[in-house]
Each structure stands twice: as C-alpha cells, then as structure tokens.
Amino acid sequence: MLEIRGAGQRFNEAGWALRDISLGVAPGERVALIGPSGAGKSTLLSWLNGSRFPTVGEIVVLGQSLHRLNTSRRRKVQRQIGTIYQQFHLINNLSVLHNVNAGRLGYWPLWKSILSLLVPVNVPHCRQLLDQVGIGEQIYKPLTQLSGGQQQRVAIARVLMQNPQIVLADEPVSSLDPERSRAIVDLLTQLCSDRGKTLVASLHTVDLAQKYFDRAIALKNGRLLFDKPMAAVTSQDLSQLYESQDQD
C-alpha cells in the first residue's frame, strides 16, 4: 500500500535530514511514527503525500512510483491520501461547511467547486460527517469561532469527505491539551478502522501511540531506529529513542 525504498532527504550541505529509510505499510494497518522533534517525522510524511520528493530513493503509493507520474496522474493518487496537520491548515475565512467540502475538490469539476461557495452543495453529507466527529451543529459557523479541538475535528471531517484509502496525520494533537488529545486520537483511529483505512500518524507522546496503534516506527536523527509491532516495544527501546541525542 505504502512503500519507501532506500529513500533519503538532504536539505542543504549540512547533511541528511533522513537517510536509508526503507519500509512498507500494509492496508488497514495503524502505524505510529515516533521520535524526538527534528527526527524527520514530518519530512517522511511529506514524502508519503507527494508534497516532497526524496533526494534519493523511491516512494511507491498504491503500486505507483510517485516521482515517475505526471501531474494529473499524481493528483489521482493524491486523492487517495488524506492528511491532517498539527496546525490544522484549514481555511480561516470560510465556514465549517466549506472547509469540509474542500475535501471533495479533487473530484469536483472547477465550476462545481466555485458554485458551491455561493450555493453550498453536499450539505446533508457534510452534516452527517460533522455529526460523526461530534460537531454537527457547528456546520454554518465561521471556522474562527471554533476551538482548537473543534477545528481538528473539522480537519478529520474534511479527510472523511475526501474519503481516501490512506490517512496521514502529522502530530495531529500537539497543539491540544491532553484531555482533548486523547479524544481526538480515539476518534481518528476509530473512524479509520471502521472504514478500513490505513493510518500513519506521527505522535510526540508515546502513551497515546501505545494505546491506539498496532505498529511503531521510530526515527532518531534521521535514521530508522526500530520498526516493530507496538506490543513488542520495550521500555529500553523507548529510553534509547528519547535519550539525549549528542551521545550517539
């Protein structure tokens, strides 16, 4: 489903932000990407959604090698990948409804996208998805009136609207308090397994990863430290992962 083959990323002369990464993700898996900040988690996820190409190596999504595709083919693959961000990256000046509908932009013809801003289409479906993430009554509110947790729920509803086979989440709960974080991760993993979607999420808190995911991929200083079932992760692994980085 997702495959990284010998990939590495170099941003400047200083060195490799990620190197020698090879791994594969099977359909329906729930993978937690863990590691200290600066380890390269965001970079790895940006490979997977096609917003960045690795300096060396190859990324294969749904059997297609991303950098070999032309733009419109790549866009078709990208429609099968939904991404949720730490800073939400929603559209502040639009209502919740339009933000959720934005998930369909890859499928709609242009005239429909523009028309929908004037006469919203797809409202019942939006409402249904928003109900599922628990904020159905906020549908007509401007996005800025929502709290951080609510906005992340909108982002999840948008991904559901996009209805991809793969969901990527880059630190989806880092800007939320612990109570809300747990609720959001719970919701996200639940929805993904209900619909048989593959989920890859980077997380900075190991306890959430251990509770909700079945596989752990650990990155440290741009290298793959370990990749094993969550149940097999030992406290030794974790202390090695998070110990001070200068000692390696």
Partner 1 sequence: MFGLKTQKRSYLYSVNPNGKTLFWLVGLVVIVVVAIALSITPDQPWLNVGGFNQFWGFWVAAKTPDLSTSFLQLTTVSTLQTLAFAICGTVTSLGLGFGFGVVASEVWWQAIAPRWSWWLSRAVRTGLTVPRSLHEALWGLLCVELFGLDSLVGIVAIAIPFGAIAAKVFSELMDEVPRHSFEALRCGGAKPIAAFVYGILPAVSGDLLSYGLYRFDCAIRSAAVLGIIGAGGLGYQIRLSLQSLRYEQLWTLLGALFLLTAMGDFWSAALTRRQTNVVSRSKFRSKIPFNSIGYGAIAAVVITTSFIWVGADYGKLLSPVTYSRLGNLLVAAWPPDWLTLGTAWQEAGEVMLDTMLMSVVAIAIAGLGGVCFAFLGSQKLGQNDTSNFASSILPRARTIAVRGFLLVERAVPEPVWALLCLFVLFPGILPGAIALGIHNMGVLGRLMAEVVDNIDQRPIQALRHTGASATAIFFYGVLPQTLPQFLGYILYRWEVCLRATIVVGLVGAGGLGRIIAEALSSFHYAGLASALIALFALTLAADTLSQVLRRHLQANAAE
Using DSSP's 3-state secondary structure scheme, residue 196 falls into coil
Residue 48 CB neighbours (<10 A)? 21
Tally the C-alpha atoms within 13 A of residue 53's C-alpha that lie toward its C-beta. Answer: 10
Q: Is 13 in the site for ligand ADP (CB under 6 A)?
A: no
Q: Is 39 in the site for ligand ADP (CB under 6 A)?
A: yes
Dihedral (CA of 203, 208, 213, 216) sign = positive
How far is 77 from 61, CA to CA, in rounded Å? Answer: 7
DSSP result, 128-154: HHHHHTT-GGGTTSBGGGS-HHHHHHH
- Using the contact rule CB under 6 A, the part of the chain among 32-40, 81-89, 108-116, 175-183 near ligand ADP is 32-40
Nearer to ligand ADP, 15 or 27 (CB): 15
Per-residue interface string for the shown chain with Mg ion, residues 34-53, x marking contact by CB under 5 A: --------x-----------
Q: Is 130 in the site for ligand ADP (CB under 6 A)?
A: no
Task: Tell me which residue of 167, 227, 223 sits closest to 194, measured CA to CA.
Answer: 167
Q: Is 37 in the site for ligand ADP (CB under 6 A)?
A: yes
Rounded to a whole number of angstroms, the minimum distance from the CB of residue 171 to Mg ion is: 6
Rounded to a whole number of angstroms, the minimum distance from the CB of residue 35 to ligand ADP is: 6
Size of the site for ligand ADP (CB under 6 A): 10
- Using the contact rule CB under 6 A, the part of the chain among 36-44, 109-117, 151-159, 184-192 near ligand ADP is 36-44
Residues that bind ligand ADP (CB under 6 A): 11, 17, 35, 37-43
